[in-house]
Amino acid sequence: MKFDGMVQTNYLERSSCKKFLKYTENPMRNILITLAVIATLGTQVGADPFFVEGNIIFFDTENSSTTDEIEFGQRDQLLQILKKNMGIDTLVLNSGGGMIDEAKEIADLVIDVGLNTHVELFCESACVTIFLAGENRTLALGGKIGFHASWWDATSMEKYYQSEKQDKGWETPFDFASWLYEDTQSEIFADFEYLLERGVKPDFAIQTLKAGSDGMWYPRRSNLRQAGILTE
């Protein structure tokens, strides 16, 4: 796995209680989160993406044997875990992203339950949608949050056109292009509304929508705090 040009090892080599406590404003809460990260993640490599430690639920798609991204069905999986563990109040994320529609479903659930969200290592792309759903949102020292614009490669676009053209009534690729233009505008507007709803400053929200699709934008911690991405 790659992380900003470096080979990712595991949480134990990248996490530190001492570092964590230096920048956060709620040290007791952060002690509990970090101790849970250290005690749990090192033994969970190869497990399912969701696992529970006390009042914390971890969502780690990078060290799972069952998936390597956010994908369909995980919202329902999370719901079942939360029903069985009513005391959970924090979701720790480690993911490079995946299906944005499923990420939005997970985010709605996180908002409904009122979970806090925390990133110890990295959260990129669709993972950020989930992170922003947190009531309190924190980032460990050395952790990164990455943004990029949505994209759709030509091969996938053609496959979608061929599979849906009859049901959608697209007689030519131009009909598809017209639909795609309108749909893209709607999605951009919906994404912008969500960012504002979660307390993100409008100018930063616009910047995230302008981020390129061919790379990841990692804002500085100070920018994340000023923009309202981080709450602590």
Confidence of residue 68 (pLDDT cuts 50, 70, 90): confident
Tell me, what's the pLDDT at 29?
53
Q: Where are the domains of the chain?
A: 2-147+216-227, 153-211
Q: What is the pTM of this model?
A: 0.79
Confidence of residue 67 (pLDDT cuts 50, 70, 90): confident
pLDDT tens profile 92-130: 999 999 999 999 999 999 999 999 999 999 999 999 999
Answer whether 112's CB lies under 8 Å from 82's CB.
Answer: no
pLDDT tens profile 193-232: 999 999 999 999 999 988 777 789 999 999 999 999 999 8
Neighbours of 205 (CB within 10 A): 20
> What is the third-level CATH fold of 2-147+216-227?
2-enoyl-CoA Hydratase; Chain A, domain 1 (3.90.226)
Q: What are phi and psi of 185, to 5 degrees?
A: -60, -40
Tell me, what's the pLDDT at 34?
53
DSSP state string for 4-46: TTEE---HHHH--HHHHHHH-S-HHHHHHHHHHHHHHGGG-TT
Work out the average pLDDT over 126-139.
Answer: 98
Tell me, what's the pLDDT at 14?
32
